[in-house]
Amino acid sequence: MELRTSPIIAVCNQKGGVGKTTTAINLAQALVLQDLNILLIDLDPQGNTTCGFGIKLESIQTSVADLIRDRDLLVDKAIYKGDRLDIIPATPYLARVEREMVGMTNSELRLMRKLDGVRERYSIIIIDTPPTFGPLMNAALNTAQHLIVPVDSFFSLIGIKELLAEVEEIKQGTNLGLKILGFLMTMVDPTNISHETRNNLLANFGSQVFETRIRRSVKLREAPVFGKTIFHHAPESAGAQDYWSLATEVLDRLGIGEDATKPSAIQTARPSLTLVQEACHE
């Protein structure tokens, strides 16, 4: 088992608007605040994860799309460095490259192979994925060993089963070790719908459902508008607490970082991103 060599987690659900990007960004930041080095990869042509850190899409010279397209491009060229949180960004150009991927040999394996060179630098690599099945989702499922599946209150079991069927297919083909790390309830509010959703999820997936629930919160919605994580925007909000708790649970499930639980660290969380805002590569 390769758990000690930077596990790769993809945040995945083919439904849009369920909190994938919010989870990728804030889980990554919470893990950094729990003393890990993280690489976050934006694999959605909408570039919401990239923008969520205040990076201007127009300023990006080399993105994940170039890594996939150009066999010889070194992965470091596409890594934008922050303070223990590095990003491989995405821009709308990725949509064009996704269409080209259909005709490229082993295009779904390219990202995974490119990451080989940097895996030992990071404690965990996190991938944000697009809201559609297609070559990019395929690349994510071939690169990750673990999936976090965010689920909102209006989740459809049929949709989840479709995703699980896809995962099964990948496991039988190119990525034997792929596993669900957990189903994550997002946008939880005190309504009966949220309650029923949880019961429904538990009935179907039992202990695979994370205990942490991400509550619906205006602060979580606002943060990306300011190009900030929740830990910078509202470090004492419910959203920060929830993503902190998720990070702890994720580390627990991965079997790493057992001594990292210091709830007080939320208060002392330094804005650790001297991030890449200018994204100025030579």
Ligand X SMILES: Nc1ncnc2c1ncn2[C@@H]1O[C@H](COP(=O)(O)OP(=O)(O)O)[C@@H](O)[C@H]1O
Distance CA 54, CA 57 (A): 9
**Which part of the chain contacts Mg ion (CB under 5 A), choosing from 18-26, 106-114, 156-164, 217-225?**
18-26
**Of 8, 10, 12, 21, which one interacts with ligand X (CB under 6 A)?**
21
**Of 7, 20, 53, 276, which one interacts with ligand X (CB under 6 A)?**
20
Distance CA 109, CA 91 (A): 20
22 binds ligand X (CB under 6 A): yes
Helix (H) or strand (E) run with residue 199 in it: helix 192-205
Widest distance between CA atoms in the chain: 53
- Token pair recorded at residue 226: 């300011």
Residue carrying the six token digits 């989840």: 160
156 binds ligand X (CB under 6 A): no
Give the three-state DSSP class for 207: helix
Distance CA 195, CA 9 (A): 27
Distance CA 190, CA 99 (A): 42
**Of 123, 138, 186, 194, which one interacts with ligand X (CB under 6 A)?**
186
50 binds ligand X (CB under 6 A): no
Distance CA 233, CA 134 (A): 34
**Of 6, 26, 34, 48, which one interacts with Mg ion (CB under 5 A)?**
48
216 binds ligand X (CB under 6 A): yes
**Angle CA(203)–CA(205)–CA(210) in degrees, nearest 5?**
110
For the window 21-40, what string marks contact with Mg ion as x by the rule CB under 5 A? x-------------------
Nearest approach in angstroms of CB 186 to ligand X is: 5
Nearest approach in angstroms of CB 219 to ligand X is: 8
Give the residues lining the site for ligand X (CB under 6 A). Answer: 16-22, 48, 131, 186-187, 214, 216-217, 220-221, 224
Residues of the shown chain interacting with Mg ion in the complex, contacts defined by CB under 5 A = 20-21, 48
